[in-house]
Amino acid sequence: MLSEALTYIFAKSQNKFKSLGYLREAIAIEARHKRCHSAWSEHLKQSQQRITEAVEKTEGRNRIVLLGAGAGHDIPLDYLLSEFEEIHLVDVIFLKSIREKAKQSPAIKLIESDVTGIINPLFEDKNRINVTDLNLCPPDELLIGADLVVSCNLLSQLPINIKNRLVALGENEDSKELGGFCRSIINSHLKWLESCDASILLISDFERHLVPQDGAKGKIVKSNALFGISFLMPDHLWVWDIAPRPEIDRMFSLKHLVGSIYLQEKEAFKFKS
């Protein structure tokens, strides 16, 4: 805990991202990665393999853009350095470990950016905000010139801190309006990806599974991770043992069903009706 506290104090972060909890979240994820490294290894391996396969399917080798790059654990960075002239890593927070890697290569560019386009008004306004008045404006300039864009274990995370902020400002946590707005954040991200002049790789968790362990009573509890959105026929599926017992509960483990979808330029995602 002391290590995490010191990291929080000395980490570089824009005030708006720090205020909305992104720095605290990034530090917590890094700490969990260390505690659960063995349990996470298959997921990280799968994510890296899917990125490698997407690169092999993509003709251009000028620029790759990775959205949700985080600490880079799920990214085959050395391989990408051998393939691309420019590697743009995009996230709201970059901790020291990935900053140090970026210093070692001029090909790596770290871009601190909100890919939803909604954080500025949430940070600046201290009063209650009507969700129907909010406009989602993803930054199109981030994707210009890319040969391959990877949305990497990001999609389900996009609404979380935004939802928490809206609830803190007085929005009803269980309202249909807030749930619909969270779903629109996910849809906006997918439309943004589809609109760019590049190949696309989406890696995302689709379901969350609460799994009883070692004789615990009850069935596996499954929930949609994308506010009701379900994809039709992902290319690959695997399980991420994200919080093995007793990480969040003494008798239950949390597992995510994760998948990947690769799109050629101007292809569109397909959804279950």
Distance between CA atoms of 257 and 156, rounded to whole angstroms? 12
The helix/strand/coil state of 207 is: strand
pLDDT attached to residue 10: 40
3-state secondary structure of 201: strand
pLDDT computed for residue 126 by the predictor = 66
Q: What is the pLDDT along the chain (273 residues), one digit of tens a residue?
A: 545 444 444 456 577 777 777 888 888 888 888 998 999 999 999 999 999 999 999 999 999 999 999 889 999 999 999 999 999 999 999 988 899 999 999 999 999 999 999 888 777 766 667 777 788 889 999 999 999 999 999 999 999 999 998 888 888 888 999 999 999 999 999 999 999 999 999 999 999 999 987 655 678 889 999 999 999 999 999 999 999 888 878 888 999 999 999 999 989 999 997
DSSP secondary structure letters along 38-57: HHHHHHHHHHHHHHHHHHHH
pLDDT of residue 9: 43
The total number of residues written for the chain in this structure: 273
Token digits of residue 21: 């909890």
d(CA 214, CA 30): 27
Q: What is the structure's pLDDT at 12?
A: 62
The pLDDT value recorded for residue 8 is 43
Question: Strand runs (DSSP E) across 41-182, as ranges?
Answer: 63-67, 86-91, 108-112, 148-152
φ/ψ (deg, to 5) at 96: -60, -40
Half-sphere exposure of 185 (CA within 13 A, CB side): 25
Instruction: Work out whether the CA dihedral 92, 96, 101, 104 comes out positive or negative.
Output: positive
